A and B are shown apart, each in its own frame.
Chain A
Amino acid sequence: MSQVNDIPIIEAIEFTNFKALRNAELPLSQFTLIVGPNGSGKSTVLQGLRWLRGVGINFDHALTIGVPRDDATRIVMTIRTRYAGKRFNVIRRLTPRHHNETDSVPRIAGNELYQHAVWQMLQTLRTFSLVPERLSQPVKLSASMNLLDDGLNLAGVLDRLRDQHPERFEQLNEELARWLPEFDRILFDTPMEGHRAIQLRTRKGQARIPASELSTGTLLALTILTIAYIPDSPKLVALEEPDHGLHPRLLRDVRDALYRLAYPDRFGESRPPVQVIATTHSPYFLDLFRDHPEEVVIAKKEANEATFQRLSDMPNVEEILEDSQLGDAWYSGVLGGVPVAP
């Protein structure tokens, strides 16, 4: 059995009464890019994944607008997983009575033998909504190499990577220098005892530029690379707009970095693959997935209700795209997933 099949994978997530996702099924692949207008449920998917990991949600805030609230009303998320050739559903429910539920263990239907692997995958999943201002913050050193959802501890994670996995840290430096040729190395500063801050060294003149002086795009590029080079990667990573703030010419590198996570064997890496979910608003980023329509999901919103469709499941999609860029076709509206007129 191939390595990919030995790792649990989420095949789809069904949402019921969860914000704009009143009744929606999100199909997922080893790599999935979700495109769609604002409010089409892309962020709700990430919120759902956090809920799965144990972050509480408020029933009244999360209930789809217009759905009557009574004792029988449920917000439900069903995660359809496949592992070792078998399928398991993980169900998360929220009732009006437990409207601040945080601690109930998701129910996993299926053979107990496999539950552990699936449960472990769901526990280690990571959802990143990177906040540029936080990436540049000096942080207190800790033993953890887990990057926080907003990227706040980036400096600490890089410091650990340098100490514990120097060869990967070197690879990361090389890759960074290729992405952003004006810099040649990640350096560290100790603004106070037990704290670390990042600096980048300029190729010309070897000047140390503190993180607080770096552009948003540079910090985001560094963070995406860091996610791709952390050795003990989670089994599932979801990233909100990894293209945000980046020069369009860097987007191919971003795609490559995410593919490196999702398909490590094709990049000569022996570590287990990571299931990757990313969202975007960028037609340029979308262009890069023309060869793999099965990896693209269009989020559509009509009358405050969002649904998902895999691009490869769309009728006549090959004919529609024949002589167009994927991003242009999406922007034009013919694929759906664009804002509706007010």
Chain B
Amino acid sequence: MKVAILGESSADEAVVRIFVDAILGEPTDSVERYRLRSRGWPAVLNQLPAVLHALYYQSDADALVVVVDSDSHPHDVAHDDPGPRDDSCHLCAVRSKIDAVRARLRPVQGRGSFRAAAGLAVPALEAWLWCGQDSLVTEQNWINGLWAGEIPYTKLKLKQWVYGTDRPDLVTETTRATERARRLAENLAMLEERFPIGFGALCREVRGWRGDLR
């Protein structure tokens, strides 16, 4: 399966690829034609229409996976209720944009189905990577803290934990992040249990593709 990945950095994208492969249970191919690169929120949202259009019309990609950091805008299951989405939520904003673009795509002869899935790391991808190292690091703990006005850990703190510094260079960041991701990929159940909203959503969508794998 050929899957394009769009995240907030190239290190994030390498991590998401490992998780997507683990969820699908088989390695995916990247879309070599486009060396996609985002530069953080909200650039990823602004780039999304161009990326989706190009992938659909000009590539043989089967799917696009988008994973972003929630920052202080986590998703709530109430957002899934019918009706207008809460676009201040990063996950809902990504989903809205994907839906809007897909609604406008015209049929192309010879083009198979095109899937898209979105995930949300609360508050940042490093929280997924630190999963299992500290039982306090869970989606719910962070969200509870946010509502209580006292977040239990910051994005910078997470970086210090995962990389040993909040200013990692790109090589260190990518190396450490993918090492952790490979270990976690062997225990997706834990990630899904501790990050049921943002990681769980990604798992459910990507698992749904399994049935129609070639």
Contact = CB atoms under 8 A, between A and B. Distances in A.
B43 interface: yes
B10 to A, nearest CB: 8
A252 B169 CA distance: 8
**Which 7 residue pairs across A and B have the least CB separation, nearest first?**
A256-B169, A266-B165, A259-B167, A252-B170, A287-B39, A325-B43, A256-B170
B143 to A, nearest CB: 17
Contacts of A256: 169-170
B72 A324 contact: no
Given A259-B167, A263-B167, A284-B39, 15 more contacts: A178-B171, A249-B37, A256-B169, A256-B170, A266-B165, A266-B167, A267-B169, A267-B172, A287-B39, A287-B43, A322-B71, A323-B71, A325-B39, A325-B40, A325-B43
B160 to A, nearest CB: 10
A322 B72 CA distance: 8
B112 interface: no
A266 B168 CA distance: 8
A287 B40 contact: yes
Nearest to B45: A323
B75 to A, nearest CB: 15
Interface in A181-201: none
A168 interface: no
Interface string B18-41: 000000000000000000010111
A263 B165 contact: yes
A324 B169 contact: no
A141 to B, nearest CB: 32
12 contacts: A253-B170, A256-B170, A263-B165, A263-B167, A266-B167, A267-B172, A284-B39, A291-B155, A291-B159, A292-B167, A323-B42, A323-B71
Contacts of B165: 263, 266
A291 B156 CA distance: 7
A336 B78 CA distance: 39
Interface string B49-74: 00000000000000000000001110
Contacts of A87: none
Contacts of A291: 155-156, 159, 166
Interface in A272-296: 284, 287, 290-292
Interface in A313-334: 322-325
